[in-house]
Amino acid sequence: MISQDSDLLGLWLKQRRAAHHAGINLGLDRIRAVRDSMGFSLNCATIIVGGTNGKGSVVAIIESILRKSGLRVGAYTSPHLNRFNERVRVCGNDVTDSEILHSLELVEKSRNKVVLTYFEYATLAAARFFSISNLDVAILEVGLGGRLDAVNIFDGDCSVITSLAIDHADILGGSVEAIASEKAGIFRKDRPAVCGVNHPPFNLLRIANKLGADLVQIEKDFGYTSRSKNTWDFWSRRGAGLTSLPRPSLIGDVQLANSATALAVIDSLKDKIPTETDAVKKGLRDIDLRGRFQVVPGKPQIVFDVCHNPQATETFRSNLSNLPKTRRTVAMFGMLASKDAVGVVAIIKAHIDFWVITELDTEKTLVLSSLRAALVKNNVGRDFIRESDSVDHAFKIARQLVSDDDRILVIGSFYLVSDVMNIMRLK
């Protein structure tokens, strides 16, 4: 019997991935062929969310507001923290094992020897489940890039790019302009394309124009004004603004930009998905998003954040500076090999007293020697570094380094945050 804590769906998908030897394999022909063989479509308003950072926040904000409006909302996000089921939500509830396994088996039966990646399996299964869930709105988060990402087989009634920064450079390109070209591929002709990027790169503007998208830009067509510590205004040149809104329940000033971007999406679809001001206010107060500057009260205080690139780490540093000072801050740190560990350390090192580095439970992990090198390159003394190839043991080391009045940061990767959350839950 499989326990409640096991990730049955993750295991199913990993087995398929191992059988097919398919990791990242960008392109739409294979997944589109399987979708057509399955014979389903999303018969509801559809929102596609792309960008480097902030995707999860914008999805969660839109989802919360639309649910408070009484709409049936499906949300597909990635990656998950504890169980695969978190990736597929309907009306705020994670999909059950039996519900999503049925869709996964339909994907398997329909693929006709087409090799699919883990993410392609997941995307098709999630979308097929949404197609039978009587939804008013489906929100689909892009996994990697945009133009060739599996989610892009669906046409968004509105597409949004939350932010742009260099990440996955080996796949998407080593410049913001190159990355903008890939991410702008989710835009559609004559449909709203919301851009939450200040001063968007030329390629994003060029491709939006080439595709004939109805581009809506932050600071040009919409934006926000902070009124006080607790309230803010949303303004829009295309629709009615909203005043005296409550600050979103997510922590950090960047969440005002994310909230304004989410409201611009909702505003652009007001004919399809009408909302009331009261629902907006209730939705902003009740957003659920784990692992993004998630502060766990107690002694010692523990802060989780999946900041895995320099832009996300800048936001994390800003949020951290607003917390009360502690005697000592210990960072538990692990990253994927594809990420910029040197850049992340450079941004946050002034706030860290001790580092506990560890390897992640994936073949894609950055190994201890490389983590150590990233710290040393940033002039972190070896006396201030501890290490373990086991996340469980590394967490024990971190706990030994702090007193009740100190702070532990768990940062760098979804894998690390997930594992430490599970360790704490089990204990």
pLDDT at residue 376 tops 50:
yes
Residue 390 pLDDT > 70: yes
Distance between CA 320 and CA 313 in Å, rounded?
10
Q: Do 191 and 208 form a contact (C-beta atoms < 8 A)?
A: no
Q: Let me know if residue 3 belongs to a domain.
A: no
* Torsion (CA) 152, 156, 160, 164 in degrees, nearest 10: 10
- Domain of 15, CATH number, reads 3.40.1190.10
Q: Can you tell me which residue has the tokens 């408070």? A: 68
Per-residue pLDDT tens for 86-145?
Answer: 999 999 999 999 999 999 999 999 999 899 988 999 999 999 999 999 999 999 999 988
Contact 260, 183 (CB under 8 A): no
Coil, strand or helix at 215: strand
pLDDT grade, residue 222 (50/70/90)?
Answer: very high
179 phi and psi, to 5 degrees? -65, -40
Instruction: Quickly tell me which residue has 């996000």 as its tokens.
Output: 77
Residues 29 and 83 in one domain: yes
Q: What is the CATH number of the domain that holds 395?
A: 3.90.190.20
Torsion of CA 17, 22, 26, 30, to 10 degrees: -80
* Residues 229 and 360 occupy one common structural domain: no
Looking at the fold, whether 317 and 374 belong to one and the same domain comes out as: yes
pLDDT at 328: 95
- Alpha-helical runs (H) found in 118-253: 118-131, 169-172, 176-183, 202-211
Q: Is 14 domain-assigned?
A: yes
- Whether 2 shows a pLDDT value over 60: the answer reads no
Residue 349, pLDDT score: 96
Question: Are 332 and 395 a contacting pair, CB within 8 Å?
Answer: yes
Instruction: Give the helix/strand (H/E) hosting 194.
Output: strand 192-195
Structural domain harbouring 261: 8-285
User: Which strands sit side by side in the sheet containing 231-236, from one edge to the other?
Assistant: 222-226, 231-236, 242-246
Q: Tell me, yes or no, whether 1 lies in a domain.
A: no
Please report whether residue 279 resides in a domain. yes
Q: Which residues contact 19 (CB under 8 A, 6 or more apart)?
A: none
In a domain, 300, yes or no: yes
Q: How far apart are alpha carbons 62 and 69 in whole angstroms?
A: 11
H and E: helices and strands count for the chain: 15, 17
pLDDT at 24 over 60: yes
Q: Are 263 and 283 in contact (CB under 8 A)?
A: no
pLDDT of residue 1: 25
Measured between alpha carbons, how far is 165 from 181 in angstroms, rounded to an integer?
Answer: 12
Q: How many CB atoms lie within 10 A of CB 369?
A: 10
- Closest by alpha carbon to 249, among 219, 216, 299, 292? 292
| Out of 25-29, 59-63, 219-223, 228-232, least confident range | 25-29
The answer to whether residue 73 sits within a structural domain is yes
Residues 272 and 326 in one domain: no
270 with 314, same domain: the answer is no
pLDDT score of 165? 87
Contact 418, 338 (CB under 8 A): no
Domain boundary among 285, 302, 322: 285
Does residue 177 share a domain with residue 54?
A: yes
Same domain, yes or no, for 337 and 382? Answer: yes
Task: Tell whether the model's pLDDT for residue 333 goes beyond 80.
Answer: yes
Considering only the C-alpha atoms of the chain, give the largest distance between any 2 of them, rounded to a whole number of Å.
Answer: 61
Specify the residue for token string 């590394």: 394
Q: Is 249 helix (H, G, I), strand (E, B) or coil?
A: coil
In the numeric block, which tokens belong to residue 42? 């999303």
Q: What's the pLDDT score for residue 423?
A: 93
Structure tokens at 157: 């009634």
**Are 240 and 298 within one domain?**
no
Segment 160-217, tens digit of pLDDT: 999 998 777 777 777 999 999 999 999 999 999 999 999 999 999 999 999 999 999 9
Please report the pLDDT score of residue 301 as a whole number.
94
CA-wise closest residue to 191 among 162, 163, 212, 222: 212
**Neighbouring residues of 188: CB distance < 8 A, sequence distance ≥ 6:** 155, 156, 159, 211, 213
Last residue of a domain, one of 236, 254, 285: 285
261 and 315: one domain?
no
Query: What does each C-alpha distance from 90 to 45, 58, 122, 230, 278 come to in angstroms?
Result: 14, 17, 15, 30, 22
> Degrees (nearest 5) of the Cα angle 318, 320, 325?
130
Categorize the per-residue pLDDT at 3 as very low, low, confident or very high, splitting at 50, 70 and 90.
very low
pLDDT tens-place string over residues 27-50 = 799 999 999 999 999 999 999 999
Using the 3D structure, point to which of 285, 307, 324 is the last residue of a domain. 285
What's the number of domains the chain is made of? 2
For the segment 268-303, what is each residue's pLDDT rounded down to a tens digit? 999 999 999 999 999 999 998 989 999 998 899 999
How confident is the prediction for the chain on average, in pLDDT? 92
Query: What gap in Å lies between CA 232 and CA 163, rounded to an integer?
Result: 21
